[in-house]
Structure 1
Amino acid sequence: MRSVLLAGLLTLALAGCGGTAQEQGSHADPDQVDAVAVPTVGACRDLTGADLALPTNASRTVPCTEDHTAVTIEAEELPEDLADLDVDDPQIVQWVGRTCTTAFERYLGAEESTAMRTILDWVWFRPSDAAWDDGARWYRCDLTGGAPGARPLALPADAEGLLAGVPQDRWMACARGDRVDDAPRVPCTRPHDWRAVTTIKLGEPDDPYPGDSVSEKRTSAFCQDSVAAWLRYPETFDFGYTWFHRAEWERGNRRSVCWAMTTH
């Protein structure tokens, strides 16, 4: 069986390009609504799934020792060459996507393959339309995690370095269902049918996008071999894969994720 998960993890992470600018999240802090100042790195918030789908967020901060589902891991001004673009310009989306991915890996202490196989994720927020008109040009990358549509995972008081070394199963991505493409993601400590076990590299940073057909064919062939090795070459096995499209390629992703059907 060859199951294909068409919706990529990176695509799900880019919540900064959807929603309504006037909505600024649950439990909004009046001091953060339409804020022009760059947000504070290290701030924790108890964001909901609906909050993560908005392009901007002004939810109040909470002590990181209290229940929270997001922590700001990077916040800066946009570079000057992007400052004069429209607030939703694709160049900003691509640049922030690359920047937040780098910050995500650095903060968690994860190499690229581990970062693509974790249940943890990142989301970015931009200034509100009103703040943008007032000159705000910041971006904010928040660490979060969990399955899309479900309540985000609770994070520990200190999540820095969480994926360094051999990560705990509670932070790694598994899925439960007959097919990878429609199986909800769950932490690997929960009952599951699939585990994201390896990633494969489809190109170098300067390579052009090879196209959907080539990307999928290469992913399928590489993942079949990779999963077989991970399972120690059984006579029969099932595998799946997550491959990404041109938009993710332009944001810097060059890897696909391989899934093994397994309950452990």
Structure 2
Amino acid sequence: MRLVVLALVAAFSLSACGDGNAAPAADKEPPALGACRVLSPDDVAKPANSGAVVECAEQHTAETFAVGDLPDEFDDADYDDPDLGAWAYRTCSKQFKDFLGADDSLVMRTVVSWAWFRPTEKAWDADARWYRCDVVGGGEQSKDYVDLPTSAKGLLLGRPKDEWMVCADGDTVSGSVKVPCTEPHNWRAVTTISLGEAGDEYPGDRLAEVTTRDFCSKSVGAWLNYPVDYDFGYTWFHQAEWDAGNRRSVCWAKTDQ
């Protein structure tokens, strides 16, 4: 989730492409729905991507699950308009849940995430206005992405496999490496808490953290079946993530694996 939110507020550094000032024709047209690609975290950090499409039966780390034209309100928008990022967050996150077959809590606890792309800056200046949402096999702290199945559609339906759930390997949750739960780990993301509704104002850092901590203390205890002693952690987010649309914090249970 934080990977997605940080992408909304990051500064953009673009390299020149095409011939002269003209954008390649391919950059002006919306990409294909269902296309698979081999993307890296460096690719996802950029606002535009024209990576080669591969057969989905082959190894790949990204699959396009939503494409379309941007609303008319962005016809005259700047390339890095923050309202565009907020719109993409709402649009891609909803379709991400539908595509994976997950609810709000589950998508916060999966090792996969999503990224969105727009046309290149030259294509944007030539009035190209489309978006592309990709599911990717990793998150913010991933150095490399894991391979996805032939299609990630319905990946989290029913009881998801541990290879698609997120755990953490480190002494504390904060700053630890996030890994699939099939790999060695010290922490598992087990529950989430909603801190507000879509139209609510940000409650402030202190209240957001305290509310998360108190809930996670009880929630993790229940998840562990109320042991006498247990350790728990929590991940909560700040104003920027709230403004982008995130309303949930994540609770982590200390494990022996």
2:253 is matched with 260
Structure 2 residue 105 is the aligned partner of structure 1 residue 113:
yes
User: TM-score, normalization: structure 2?
Assistant: 0.92
Which residues of 2 match residues 53-68 of structure 1 at below 5 A?
A: 53-68=45-60
What is the aligned counterpart of 2:28 among 22, 28, 36? 36
What is the aligned counterpart of 1:206 among 199, 205, 218? 199
After superposition, the C-alpha distances for 1:106-142 in whole angstroms (9 at most, x for unaligned) are 1000011001100010011111110001111111111
Which residues of 2 match residues 188-207 of structure 1 at below 5 A?
A: 188-207=181-200
Identity in percent: 50
1:81 is matched with 73
Which residues of 2 match residues 94-105 of structure 1 at below 5 A?
A: 94-105=86-97
How far apart in 2 are the matches of 1:32 and 1:38? 13
Per-residue deviation, 1:103? 1.1
Per-residue deviation, 1:184? 0.2
In the alignment, structure 2 segments of 5+ residues that lack a partner are: 18-22
CA distance 1:254–1:167, shift in 2 (3 Å): same
2:85 is matched with 93
Range that drifts further, 117-126 or 76-85: 76-85
How far apart in 2 are the matches of 1:123 and 1:178? 29
Secondary structure of 1:165 counterpart: coil
Per-residue deviation, 1:11? 2.6
Which amino acid counterpart does residue 79 of structure 2 have in structure 1?
V
How far apart in 1 are the matches of 2:16 and 2:39? 14
Which amino acid counterpart does residue 98 of structure 1 have in structure 2?
R
User: TM-score, normalization: structure 1?
Assistant: 0.90
2:2 is matched with 11
Which residues of 2 match residues 46-57 of structure 1 at below 5 A?
A: 46-57=38-49
Checking the alignment, whether the CA contact within 8 Å between 2:142 and 2:178 is kept in structure 1 is no
1:125 is matched with 117
How far apart in 2 are the matches of 1:131 and 1:92? 16
How far apart in 2 are the matches of 1:155 and 1:149? 14
What is the aligned counterpart of 1:140 among 111, 132, 146? 132
Checking the alignment, whether the CA contact within 8 Å between 1:33 and 1:58 is kept in structure 2 is no
1:5 is matched with none
How far apart in 2 are the matches of 1:48 and 1:244? 25
Secondary structure of 1:249 counterpart: helix
After superposition, the C-alpha distances for 1:93-114 in whole angstroms (9 at most, x for unaligned) are 1110111101110100001100
Secondary structure of 2:256 counterpart: coil
Structure 2 residue 148 is the aligned partner of structure 1 residue 155:
yes
1:178 is matched with 171
Secondary structure of 1:72 counterpart: strand
Per-residue deviation, 1:220? 0.5
What is the aligned counterpart of 2:229 among 222, 226, 236? 236
Secondary structure of 1:185 counterpart: strand
Secondary structure of 1:35 counterpart: helix
Which amino acid counterpart does residue 48 of structure 2 have in structure 1?
T
Checking the alignment, whether the CA contact within 8 Å between 1:32 and 1:58 is kept in structure 2 is no
* Matched residue count: 249
1:27 is matched with none
How far apart in 1 are the matches of 2:3 and 2:25? 25
Secondary structure of 2:66 counterpart: strand
Per-residue deviation, 1:34? 6.5
Checking the alignment, whether the CA contact within 8 Å between 1:32 and 1:59 is kept in structure 2 is no
